[in-house]
Amino acid sequence: MLITLKNRTLRLRSPMVTAHGTTTDRRIIEITAKQDGFVGYGEAAPLPSFGAETFEETQTALTEWSKNPDSLPDPPVARSGAAAALDHLHQSKSQTPLQPGAVAVQALIGGLETASVERQISDAINDGYRAVKLKVAATDTASDIERIDLAISLSESQVLLRLDANGGWTKRQALAVLTSVEASRIALVEEPTSDPSNWGKIKEETGIRVAADEHLTDRQQIDRLIELEAAQTFVIKPSILGGPPATRVIAALAATNDIDIVISSFLDGPIALRTARDLALELAPEQIHGLGTAPLFVEDLPQDVQPINGHLHRL
């Protein structure tokens, strides 16, 4: 098997500010695996502020793996990219073409100023999105309440409003914000605090469904979430959780425990977005997924990963 690696940088149109910090660009390693005339593609783009390894660690791990691809690299983003390339290679070898399809995706709203939030949500609705996700917990609670109230007023009844705190609130802050807004208009909140033992109380007092994201790091964490009944939705990022094989395992665990799944981007480039889109079509085709991130980049990504009418299309 021949493995080749190519570096690429994608620039965000506006900085993405979350409870984990500010992201302005994405450094990506594109992976190509060739064997017996067949080709598979993967992508690795670490974001250390989210608990992943550094870019240099990813590059070193993938370089070593390319010399001996019989065992996957250990760092999570490197492993995910390598696993995606091998999964795609296996699909290519099967010579079974994937059927055309489309999945609904949400628009990601990262503006800190109300004018930016208003513009981004209005644009998303005009572009046909059926859900928007607003980043919260990166400033103060008063600002969060103001931005959420604005998002609720702008969102039409058929447009879902999701929140993502990235674990940035305390329990008291989460309850202060979520009990100060029209909770019935919020479809879910991701990682409201860093401690999932708080999430049940937050769900009980607000009625808002809670989603796990950063806590889906390993089987022990996932088992704890299930035991606590902490989350009603798992937001699965294939590009950091082990690629397609690990995503399928987590999705099966979720289904067994009546937990919904959303497949999500890790601010990915086009290869990882295709992988995630295909997994969304395979595992939860009726869900609205977190894959509408291509327009966030300065560079024009390929048409098949650009949302059209709020959907990603496999052509």
| DSSP states of 234-256 | EEE-HHHHTHHHHHHHHHHHHHH
Q: Does 45 or 19 have the greater pLDDT score?
A: 45
| Residue 156: predicted pLDDT | 81
CA distances from 140 to 144, 176, 182, 206, 223 (A): 6, 11, 19, 20, 32
Report the candidate in 205, 221, 184, 284 with the shortest Cα–Cα distance to residue 76. 221
Q: Does 309 or 49 have the greater pLDDT score?
A: 309
Q: Give me Rg for the CA atoms of the chain.
A: 19
* Overall average pLDDT of the 64-82 stretch: 96
CB atoms within 10 A of CB 68: 10
d(CA 141, CA 146) in angstroms, rounded, equals 9
d(CA 286, CA 281) in angstroms, rounded, equals 8
| Residue 264: predicted pLDDT | 97
Question: Which tokens hold the place of 50?
Answer: 């989210």
| Residue 48: predicted pLDDT | 81
Give the architecture (CATH level 2) of 2-94: 2-Layer Sandwich (3.30)
| Residue 186: predicted pLDDT | 97
Please check the confidence at residue 73 and state whether its pLDDT lies above 90. yes
CA 249 to chain centre: 17
For residue range 85-128, what is the model confidence (pLDDT) as tens digits?
999 999 999 988 889 999 999 999 988 899 999 999 999 999 99
- Helix H or strand E encompassing 30: strand 21-35
Torsion from C-alpha of 195, 232, 209, 169, nearest 10 degrees: 20
CB atoms within 10 A of CB 21: 14
| Residue 49: predicted pLDDT | 75
d(CA 49, CA 53) in angstroms, rounded, equals 9
| Residue 18: predicted pLDDT | 87
For residue range 170-224, what is the model confidence (pLDDT) as tens digits?
999 999 999 999 999 999 999 999 999 999 999 999 999 999 999 998 899 999 9
| Residue 51: predicted pLDDT | 72
Please check the confidence at residue 50 and state whether its pLDDT lies above 80. no
CB atoms within 10 A of CB 57: 17
101-314 sits in which CATH class?
Answer: alpha beta
| Residue 119: predicted pLDDT | 95
Q: Does 17 or 126 have the greater pLDDT score?
A: 126
Q: Where are the domains of the chain?
A: 2-94, 101-314
For residue range 249-267, what is the model confidence (pLDDT) as tens digits?
999 999 999 999 999 999 9
Question: Which tokens hold the place of 154?
Answer: 């702008």
d(CA 267, CA 279) in angstroms, rounded, equals 16
